[in-house]
Amino acid sequence: MAEHVDPIFDIAQLAHVEMLSTDPAGTERFFTEFLGMSVTAREGNSVYLRAYEEAYHSSLKITEAAQPGLGHVAWRTQSPAALERRVAAIETAGLGQRWIDGDLGHGEAYQFTTPDGHAMELFWDVERWEATPELRTPLLNRPQRRPTQGVPVRRIDHVNLMASDAAENRRFFEEHLGFRTRERIVAGEGAEQIELGNWMSVSPLVHEIAIMRDPSGTRGRFHHVCYWYGVPQHCNDAAEVLREAGYEIEAGPGKHGVSQATFLYVWEPGGNRVELFGDVGYLIQEPDWQPVTWHAETDMEWLTSIYGPIPMSFFEIGMPPVGAVEPVGA
């Protein structure tokens, strides 16, 4: 049996993602009119949005930029002490940057990068969203009424990043942030084996973050952000509504082998890929879970999509495009 290592439970959840957009008005319309999210604030060249079952101020920050891509990913810790512990661990890895006073929706935060240069931050203090009278619901465990526009998403689910070295980034998340690897894709055998992708979480979900190997060798690119419906039919409904409105569907609706969740991938007007999850897939209860390993040479037919192949663009295209400006934090 594999040696058991006591887990680190200092990271609580994926809190928000900042996405860079070449068409912020179009991106905002995509998320509000078609995915039912609401604007909570505007500041400078950024707009902040939340889904209707989210407790915090915002889960998505859209910032105008010359190229699409990732601004940063933010994680909330379990406590102020947990924040201090993770900052110390990040500093030992040499990837820490600075403390900031905060942003709209949260207090002071510690900024750092992944080994590949993706910008991230950790924080504890957070602003909780309060419904106005017209948005209140008799469902006491829901922050607001269910929106009536589009096919409304319920919460942020995960973020997927591309990296020049998937293994190095996986080790950083495991050793310094306490993530557990749930599933992985490898190619080759023995000393020649390389990691093509890793799905990691700090909860019973299969992943709050995935790291995929970038075939271009580019550092720090963004693959997608995902929002969750909880009902597979909503992926079909969203695909129909979005196609009628002229949006490009890259893949789906379908069902992943990895995570076993139903999915839809669509390109939003600002140049970024967005995934919609129709269900949770499966949950991991075992404290000694061993990562599921898929082999690219034999398992590709099943790991990406149970219902059939998805286009090569899914594996090759990240943001910003190859040869464009350097990603934030690189």
State the alpha helices, DSSP H only, in the chain: 24-29, 80-92, 166-177, 232-244, 296-303, 313-316
What percent of the chain is modeled with pLDDT above 70? Answer: 97
Whether the pLDDT of residue 1 is over 60: the answer is no
Whether the pLDDT of residue 7 is over 80: the answer is yes
CB 229 within 8 A of CB 237: no
Domain boundaries, the chain: 11-128+154-316
pLDDT at site 181? 97
List, for residues 136-179, the tens digit of each pLDDT value: 999 999 999 999 999 999 999 999 999 999 999 999 999 999 99
List, for residues 198-229, the tens digit of each pLDDT value: 999 999 999 999 999 999 999 999 999 999 99
Whether the pLDDT of residue 325 is over 60: the answer is no
Whether the pLDDT of residue 327 is over 60: the answer is no
- Cα separation, 16 vs 11, in Å, equals 13
pLDDT at site 212? 97
pLDDT at site 2? 54
Whether the pLDDT of residue 329 is over 60: the answer is no
Averaged pLDDT, 279-287: 94
- Cα separation, 16 vs 214, in Å, equals 23
pLDDT at site 326? 53
List, for residues 113-125, the tens digit of each pLDDT value: 999 999 999 999 9
Q: Radius of gyration of the chain from Cα atoms?
A: 19
* 67-71, 150-154, 300-304: least confident range: 300-304
| Mean pLDDT (the chain, rounded) | 94
pLDDT at site 190? 82
pLDDT at site 328? 46
* Letter string b/e over residues 247-280, b meaning 16 or more CB atoms within 10 A of that residue's CB: beebbbbbbbbbbebbbbbbbbbbbbbbbbbbbb
- Cα separation, 139 vs 236, in Å, equals 26
Assigned superfamily of 11-128+154-316: 2,3-Dihydroxybiphenyl 1,2-Dioxygenase, domain 1 (3.10.180.10)
Q: pTM for the full model?
A: 0.94
